[in-house]
Amino acid sequence: MKTAVIYKSFLGTTEKYAKWLSEEIDAALFRFGQIKRDQFDNYDILIISSGTYASWMPLTGYLKRIWQYIKNKKVVVVAIGAAPEDDEWSKKSYKRISIDIRSKIKYFKIPGKLGKQTGKDIKKENLEPIIKYIRSL
């Protein structure tokens, strides 16, 4: 299946993960805004990724804006941030994605970094559950 990885990165972590992921699964790679509406039709699977920032994720608004064009696709959302998945801030970030959209996506949260930290938890291995899921489709 043709796959696209679409991302927004402020600190570079999301970009690093997006590049690793696109290489591993042989997917096209786009920043938010680079892929146009009519291009969504070229892909079966869309992986949309951004960082999390105190319960805010750029991907939330992006998903809302493009949902009418991608709602019949397999959509995987990858949130990247310093807080673990079970942290209250991470839960708030996830819940900001509308319930209509949440019910139709597969969601992953993987480690990022906080500000200018070294990002010692940023490893290719963090992508393994996502890669396994994509390959199962």
Report yes or no: 57 and 50 within 8 Å, Cβ to Cβ: yes
Report yes or no: 88 and 54 within 8 Å, Cβ to Cβ: no
The tokens of 116 are what?
């200018």
Residue 129 pLDDT = 98
- Tell me how far apart the alpha carbons of residues 137 and 131 are, in angstroms, rounded to a whole number: 10
* Domain count for the chain: 1
Report yes or no: 29 and 22 within 8 Å, Cβ to Cβ: yes
Q: What is the CATH number of the domain that holds 70?
A: 3.40.50.360
Report yes or no: 27 and 4 within 8 Å, Cβ to Cβ: yes
Which of the 8 DSSP states describes residue 50?
E
Q: 115 CB contacts (<8 Å, ≥6 apart)?
A: 11
Q: pLDDT by residue (tens digit) across 109-124? A: 999 876 666 667 889 9
Q: pLDDT by residue (tens digit) across 34-53? A: 999 999 999 999 999 999 88
Residue 25 pLDDT = 98
Q: pLDDT by residue (tens digit) across 85-94? A: 888 888 999 9
- Tell me how far apart the alpha carbons of residues 15 and 18 are, in angstroms, rounded to a whole number: 5
Of the pLDDT bands very low, low, confident and very high (cuts 50, 70, 90), residue 55 is confident
Residue 134 pLDDT = 98
Residue-range definition of the domain harbouring residue 108: 3-136
Of the pLDDT bands very low, low, confident and very high (cuts 50, 70, 90), residue 65 is very high
